[in-house]
A and B are shown apart, each in its own frame.
Chain A
Amino acid sequence: MNKTALIPPIMPKQLLRRRRWYNRLFRALIAVAGSSVVLMLAALFIYLFSEVLPLFRGVSGSPLQPLAATYQANNAELPVVQAGWPGVADFSASSASGDYQLLASKNGLACLFSPASPAGCLQQWSLTDTGDTLTSLSWLTADQAVLAGYQSGRLQQWFLLADNQGNLMLRLARELPAQPAAIIHIAAEHNRRGFATLSADGQLALYYSATAKPLWRYATEITDAVDLVFSANNQILSVYSAEQQHRFALDNPHPEISWQTLWHSVWYEGFAGPDYVWQTSSAADGYQPKFSLLPLTSGTLKAAFYAMLFAAPLAIMAAIYTACFLPAGPRRRIKGLIELMAAFPTVILGFIAAVWLAPVIENHLLALLLWVVVAPLSILALAAVWPRLPQSWQQRCSGGAEVLLLMVWLVLVSNLVFVVAGQLDSWLFSDGLRLYLDQQGIYYEQRNALIIGIAMGFAVVPGIYAIADDVLHQVPRHLTRGALALGATPWQAVVRISLPLAAPGLIAAALVGLGRAIGETMILLMATGNSPVMNFNLFEGLRSLTATLAMELSEATVGSSHFRVLFVAALLLLLFTFVANTAAEVIRQRLRKKYQRL
């Protein structure tokens, strides 16, 4: 062997340099890819925030150069005072459509009548009972509300509502915070429910009808104002004095949205009282959108709650069995099958839940309720009988085969329950449980939270199960073996050793499942009634944040309040799941460390 016969493969410097560069480039590329995951999550948050933020930005306004203009007084004739009304028509406000007219005297005596049928007042009453002097009066857009301003600076909002007999009348909806000086002018915005007031001391204030606090205030020097008017796009507020038009440019894109309208109960026009309402669109023009997120959030939580009620115990119990009591072979096979549940697209689950499960459960409600009680009992019964069966049977059914046996058993028991429940139903309740509930005043909707609990539970089980099975299986073997060696039964070893150790992991599993349930869309979209109600009734429907997004985002105008509120909903979902998943992952990381130490 002659060393010189070989070409010594000493690298040229150039090649060395090139390899070094490739190495660095690759490292950089990989690092970028690795951090891109964090970046993406951050991008999600940042983008959603950026769309939401304009909602909560305050209103800004600035005075423009005044114009010289002679004010053309609106010399409408004062209407005839209605028969039998004792007041003096100092103020008269006609609604935009002309359907209603309101007369009022300075001392607050008021008369609401309809010019179309001038047969006296529809309603005749006193706007104020404190002896205050009325100084201004105006209808809001869409003829549903009236504003009244007083000498003392008080400001009242009255809603046009039907009373029990169906007669329309104005009712005091809210008393807005008083201003220091008399309110001499009120102007309503066009197409939306904002309005502006001008006080005797020249103070301008901008309001939105659903919120009491002024959105914007501005002190002017104008004391000789004769009128207050919004431009057609609501972006310029003009104060007319005798010779001048003082103009104020307003930037107020989202008056409808505030913390209060999103999360507190608000008394909207047309409602008998304050409520949490989500109503975003209507055929009617000049409709006031109502953006309370509470019904949607509670709907989401309600659905998630019932789904977890079904899924978490089932998944965790199943995990305990496969992780702690099954040999490796059957465990792997059964695990694969249960995880197959995750492969069903939720659109299919939603479809089946809506068109098949919902009517079936409506017709067999009693059977389902009965089954919940009977099925576990039947398993216990089988367990009791089991040791008394011949040895050869028992041996044949070990190492996973008892699961098969239980499946057959459950099918038999379920069938029996359905047959018996059918008989019971007609025997106990003459027309069946479903009608009985109606008679008892319990409202039963076909697509309800029970259906969601089952269908979404099905979708959530595999996620919880997979993590629960992992954490239970990873409990170091020597610990449970030690317990068994000390004479504990297998179950005692699990309860005393495995479960306490793995408990945080099981909580993490449940959290991941909860996150999944909160974020699920298609099942909720298809198998709930999508009515935004607020209750936790098992037999009633709901409307979730996710389904709302799915239905409304495509239709919302980009940049509108509706559009941005939907982004608030998305942000809310992201935050919910972020908290749940971060907590779950931190718990799992800690648990992994703990296992390593043991």
Chain B
Amino acid sequence: MKTEVTAKLEVQDLSLRFADKTVLQHISMRIPEHKITAFIGPSGCGKSSLLRSFNRMNELLEDTSTDGRVLLDGADIYQAGVEVAELRRRVGIVFQKPNPFPHSVYENVAFGLRLQGIKQPRKLDELVESALKKAALWDEVRDRLHHSAVNLSGGQQQRLVIARAIAIEPEVLLLDEPASALDPISTLKIEELMYDLKQHYTLVIVTHNMQQAARVSDYTAFLNMGQLVEFDETNKMFTDPSQRATEDYITGRFG
């Protein structure tokens, strides 16, 4: 990896276990700032778990234990005394299946803002609008801001969830197969959105869609069986992978 990119996140010898099953083994990598990094790999290779370990979401699941360090701007997020709520504000996450709260569109976006103590209606309006605009959803929902978010289409819901996540100005945005449950048009919209977002945020995306990884990401990591097989610039990965396994996977020979 070239040295001129600053690393937003640095993973050092990270291992993760669910109950008695090892999910990640000794992962080390540096996620560059203001870039899109994609994690690819076969199902169950641990790419989602790795993503979730960046804002400590794994510990909300039963029986997990983490070893190693993850540095955000040089500070270990697994250190004792780290405020997890604040960490998650800085490192947002969007899941595979859209999960809007059963509230109105407006309230969904304002939810995180209210948690941050923002109460003035004017400021809230302003921030909600800007977040929805950034998520390229504003034009579609401006007339039904106060209707239930559950009635939006799948693609709209997912963009709403992204808007909700970026409303609180995270520094890193983690996307866990954000488009896999969506139709092609919605997928395209989400991909365009990611492209816009990378100017402000560091994006990490998990995908099992090779074309998507090739299209949107700057860097790609290939994981297999809980191990990091290869991590490099996307162009290099897809044209000239250094590992045999990577090549096999990318060309569809397994996985």
Contacts and interface: CB of A to CB of B under 8 A. Distances in A.
Direct A–B touching in the complex (beta carbon < 8 Å)? yes
Interface of A: 1, 3, 5-12, 15-16, 19-20, 23
Given A1-B133, A1-B134, A20-B83, A15 B169 contact: no
Contact of A9 (B133, B169, B196, B200): B169
A9 B168 contact: yes
B248 interface: no
Most-contacted residue by chain A among B116, B123, B134 (CB, 10 A):
B116
Given A1-B130, A8-B169, 9 more contacts: A1-B133, A6-B169, A9-B118, A9-B168, A11-B86, A11-B89, A11-B116, A15-B116, A15-B117
A11 B117 contact: yes
Contacts of A3: 200
5 contacts: A1-B130, A1-B134, A6-B127, A6-B130, A20-B85
B88 to A, nearest CB: 12
A16 B169 contact: no
A12 B200 CA distance: 22
Closest CB pairs A-B (n = 10):
A15-B117, A9-B116, A11-B116, A8-B169, A9-B169, A9-B168, A3-B200, A9-B118, A6-B130, A1-B134
Given A7-B123, A8-B169, A9-B127, A19 B85 contact: yes
Contacts of A6: 126-127, 130, 169
A172 to B, nearest CB: 73
Interface in B90-127: 113, 115-118, 123, 126-127
Nearest to B85: A19
A3 B170 CA distance: 12
A19 B130 CA distance: 26
Q: Which of A7, A11, A16 has the most CB of B within 10 A?
A: A11
A1 B199 CA distance: 10
Contact of A16 (B86, B126, B130): B86
Contacts of A23: 85
A23 B115 CA distance: 13
Contacts of B199: 1
Contacts of B123: 7
Contacts of A9: 113, 116, 118, 127, 168-169
A6 B124 CA distance: 11
Contacts of B83: 16, 20
A15 B85 CA distance: 12
Nearest to A18: B117
Interface string B185-206: 0000000000010011000000
Interface in B191-235: 196, 199-200
Contacts of A10: 116, 169
Nearest to B112: A9
Contacts of A7: 123, 127
A8 B85 CA distance: 17
A3 B118 CA distance: 18
Nearest to A3: B200
Contacts of B89: 11
Contacts of B118: 9
B85 to A, nearest CB: 7
A9 B134 CA distance: 16
Interface string B143-155: 0000000000000
B142 to A, nearest CB: 17
A6 B127 CA distance: 7
A19 B169 CA distance: 19
Contacts of A5: 130
Nearest to A17: B83
Nearest to A9: B116
A465 to B, nearest CB: 33
Nearest to B199: A1
A16 B127 CA distance: 20
A16 B116 CA distance: 8
B166 to A, nearest CB: 11
Contact of B117 (A8, A12, A20): A12
B139 to A, nearest CB: 15
Contacts of A15: 116-117
Nearest to A12: B117
A78 B116 CA distance: 102
A193 B134 CA distance: 93
Contacts of A8: 169
B136 to A, nearest CB: 11
B16 to A, nearest CB: 23
A16 to B, nearest CB: 6
A405 B127 CA distance: 66
Nearest to B113: A9
Nearest to A1: B134
A47 B168 CA distance: 54
A19 B133 CA distance: 29
A471 B113 CA distance: 46
Nearest to A6: B130
B118 to A, nearest CB: 6
Contacts of A12: 117
A6 B125 CA distance: 12
Nearest to B197: A1
A7 B125 CA distance: 12
Contacts of B169: 6, 8-10
A16 B85 CA distance: 9
Contacts of A19: 85, 115
A5 B85 CA distance: 25
A143 B36 CA distance: 103
A18 to B, nearest CB: 9
Contacts of B113: 9
Contacts of A20: 83, 85
A304 B148 CA distance: 54
Contacts of B168: 9
A16 B117 CA distance: 9
B114 to A, nearest CB: 10
